[in-house]
Amino acid sequence: MGRTGLKVSELCLGTMTFGKYTDMREAERLVDLSFDAGVNFIDTADAYGAGDSESYLGRILKQRRDEVVLATKFFNPMGPGINDSGMSRVRIFKAIEASLQRLKTDYIDLYYIHHVDTETPLEEMLEALNDLVRSGKVRYIACSNYEAWRLMESLWISDSRQWARFECYQPQYNLVIRDIEEELVPLCEYKGLGIVTWSPLANGFLTGKYRGQGRVLKGTRSEDNWVYNPDFFAANAEETLDVVLEVAKELNASPAQVATRWILEQPAMTSVIVGARNCEQFRENIGASRIRFSPEQLDRLNNVSKLKDRYPKSMEWNMSERRANAVKMPRLED
């Protein structure tokens, strides 16, 4: 993971469904299936299932805690009080104790700030997180959904004060939402952060199951409005889905496997969070580790979904070439 010595599997079990769509029995089966498949990385958050996701994992992992890299997050409201959300020092210390209790563990391997809190200084959050690392309650800290400037400022603050710094970034990333490639991926590569992505299937869009069905499909999370606004998809999202379906057919694989495998083929990616309501879905998704693209197939997927260059990249992309060519300019004659 990034510049650290921590090793994680290329797929990560996402447990957002635990306690809401996945009951305890199925959750146990999903975790067992993860271990059997070689997945050593599990992601949750205090707010998932209003705390039930963490509680389920605490019961399931009690005898296997040392076998897993466990990640959780804080930010979202966990009570009615005005200090029950955000990233203040009070909130962080309260959140970690509650998560440790629910997870039945003495430490968190990877602790994320889940969202952006514009009301709390970064220094306050980062000092509190540093204290958690120094106390042994947290091994590594991380952030999710941060803009590039905010992530860079956080790293500078931590480095300048010799505090524990973010070692991982968790963004949304898939074939129809590639925005992080513009600034965030280069930043993470430059500063040595791991990248663990969420929503590899664009909330199910890249499986093809919504085609011709509208945005809501019975028996899916879309019934509860758990569907990312397609207004944020690339303009040619349907064309990209066509290529995903074509490649899936060529490989005798599922569209979900193709979409997930594509992320794993991209530079700087550490792991992909794969969520599932049941073992059947998860078995299909982990099949992404077994398929391989031909160079031609990967090029088709890359090209159909490629971002258009935006300013300043659209202006500056070839300046290194122009500068190199300037060295070869003939001497001006007197």
Q: Could you tell me the residue range of the domain that residue 137 belongs to?
A: 11-326
Question: 73: closest CA among 63, 65, 85, 89?
Answer: 85
Task: Report the C-alpha gap between 16 and 2 in whole angstroms.
Answer: 24
Is there a catalytic annotation at residue 48?
yes
How far apart (Å, rounded) are the C-alpha atoms in residues 171 and 82? 27
Q: Evaluate whether residue 87 is within a structural domain.
A: yes
Q: What is the pLDDT of residues 57-75, one digit of tens each?
A: 999 999 999 999 999 999 9
Q: What single-letter DSSP state applies at residue 179?
A: G
Given a cut of 60, is residue 230 above it in pLDDT?
yes
**Residue 333 confidence (pLDDT) above 60:** no
pLDDT digits (tens, 9 = 90+) for 8-26: 999 999 999 999 999 999 9
CATH of the domain at 42: 3.20.20.100
323 pLDDT tier (thresholds 50, 70, 90): confident
Write out pLDDT tens, residues 161-197. 999 999 999 999 999 999 999 999 999 999 999 999 9
Facing residues of 194 across strands? 168
Stretch 232-242: mean pLDDT, rounded? 94
Cβ(52)–Cβ(61) below 8 Å:
no
Using 50, 70 and 90 to split pLDDT, how confident is the model at 224? low
Q: What are the respective helix, strand and coil percentages of the chain, to the nearest 5?
A: 45, 15, 40
Query: How many other CB atoms are found less than 10 A from the CB of residue 263?
Result: 18
Per-residue confidence (pLDDT) for residue 262, from 0 to 100: 98
Quick one: pLDDT band at residue 226, thresholds 50, 70, 90? low
> Whose structure tokens read 């590899």?
200
Residue 18, domain member (yes or no): yes
The pLDDT of residue 332 is above 80: no
Within a domain: 4: no
Query: Looking at 48, 56, 112, 169, which residue is catalytic?
Result: 48
Q: What is the DSSP string of 21-87?
A: TB-HHHHHHHHHHHHHTT--EEE--TTGGGGHHHHHHHHHSTTTGGGSEEEEEE-S--SSSTTSSSS
239-259 confidence digits (pLDDT tens): 999 999 999 999 999 999 999
CA-CA distance, 200 to 259, in Å (whole number)?
A: 7
In a domain, 127, yes or no: yes
CA dihedral 318→322→325→331, nearest 10 degrees, is: 180
Classify residue 6: in a domain, yes or no: no
pLDDT at 229 over 80: no
User: In this structure, is residue 332 part of a structural domain?
Assistant: no
pTM of the model: 0.92
Q: How many domains does the chain have?
A: 1
The whole-number pLDDT of residue 331 equals 63
Q: What pLDDT is stored for residue 157 in this prediction?
A: 98
Nearest to 278 by CA among 55, 26, 52, 36: 26
Question: Is 56 among the domain residues?
Answer: yes
Please report the pLDDT score of residue 220 as a whole number: 58
Does some domain include residue 105?
yes
Which whole number is the average pLDDT over 42-48? 98
pLDDT digits (tens, 9 = 90+) for 136-159: 999 999 999 999 999 999 999 999
- Computed over every residue of the chain, the mean pLDDT equals 93
Which pLDDT belongs to residue 235? 93
